[in-house]
Amino acid sequence: MGRFLAFILIVTLSSCSQNIYTKLTPLYEKEQLTEVPDYSQLNYWAAHPDKKDPSDSVPKDLAANYHPKQDVDVFFVYPTSYLDPTQPYGWSASLKDAKTNAYTDYTSILNQASIFNEVGKIYAPRYRQAHITSYNPVGHADTVKALAAFELAYQDVKTAFEYYLAHFNNGRPIIIASHSQGSTHSIRLLKEFFDDKPLSKQLVVAYVVGMALNPAIYTKLEACQTPNATGCICAWRTYQEGYEPPFVAKENFKSIVTNPITWSKEQPIATRYLNEGSVLYDFNKVTKHVAGAINHDGLLWTPKPQFLGSFLYKTKNYHVADFNFYYVSVRKNVAQRTNYFLENQKTSTH
C-alpha cells in the first residue's frame, strides 16, 4: 500500500483515545455495526490451526525439506484486500463478502502467512478492514471516515487477539507478523499488549512489514539488530534503489528498517546473489537471486529485481512483494529466531 498520508494516519491512530470508536460509529451502516465477528467460530478466521486453509501451503520447491513444528504461535494480520472501487460496503469491509474473503485467502494468506507455517500454529483473524482509499482520503469528512474505519478494523484485530490469548495461547511463545494495513494495526497491538508489558516475555519476534514504523512509539520494544535477536521488531518497506516516495520527505522520524537478507545492523547491504529464494507469480516455484537489500534512510532499496519478464516490471514501488521477494530468507530467519528463543527458554528454566 504505502500510499500518501499513510504515515499521518498511523501516527494519528497511535494517539487516538479509546473513545474514538464510540464517537465515530454513527458513520457506519447498520449491518456493519451489528456484524461483530465471533472469534469462537472458525469462519471468522482466515487461518487457524483447526481448519485447512492456504496458510498450510508449502511451495513445491521447498516441500522436500518441510518439517513442521508446533513450537510457537503466529498471529498474522493480513493487508488490505477490500479494493472494490465502488466501495459496496462503505468504508469498512463486510465479513460476509465472499469475494474479499477469497481474495484475502489466496493472496496474503497463501503468499505471506505460509512463510511461518514451519515453526508453529498460524492464527489470522478476519476483520472489518478499512477500504484501500482510507489511506488517501480527500477532504476533512473523508479523513474522519477513514480514521473511523481504521479504528473499527483495529478493534476487531484487538478483540481477536484477546480471544486468542484467552482460549488458544496457554503461555506459548508468540510471533506477530503483518503486512500493510495489517501492520498499521499490529503497530498498535504491540504497543498495547507487549511494550513494557508482561506479555513481552512471550514475544519471539515481530515482523511488521510494509509500513513506516516510528521507533519512538515504544518504551521498551526495539528494532532487531542481529539475526538471532528476540523480543524485538523487524520492519521494512521495499522500493527500487534510488527511489524515495514523496511522502517519505514529510515523515518526521526515521522508520525502522531491517535488512531481510543479512538481518544485521552491521551488514546493511546484500546483493541479490545472497537472496536464496523469492516466491513470485507461481507460488510453487522458488526463484533465486531476484532482489537485493540495501538499508537506506528508513527504506529498503533493491536494484531492479531480476526474474523472467522483469523488464516489463516498471514500478519502483515493490510494496506488494515486501515479503515475497525475501520469502526463503524470512522463512529461515523465523526458524532461527524461534530456535534461539526456545533454547534460551530451556536454559532459563534449568
Whether the predicted model's global pTM rises above the 0.75 cut: yes
pLDDT at 346: 79
Domain definitions of the chain by residue range:
6-255
State whether the Cα torsion 111-115-120-125 is positive or negative: negative
Tens of pLDDT along 273-295?
999 999 999 999 999 999 999 99
pLDDT at 350: 55
Contact by Cβ (8 Å): 10, 212: yes
Place of cell 482520503: 137
Contact by Cβ (8 Å): 146, 118: no
pLDDT at 147: 97
Helices 181-193/139-164 angle, 10° precision: 60
pLDDT at 41: 97
Q: State residue 64 phi and psi, 5-degree precision.
A: -65, -30
Contact by Cβ (8 Å): 155, 323: no
SS3 284: coil
- DSSP codes joined into one string, 306-321: -STTGGG---SB-GGG
Q: Which residues of the chain have pLDDT under 70?
A: 1-34, 349-350
Query: Nearest-CA neighbor of 113 among 295, 292, 324?
Result: 324
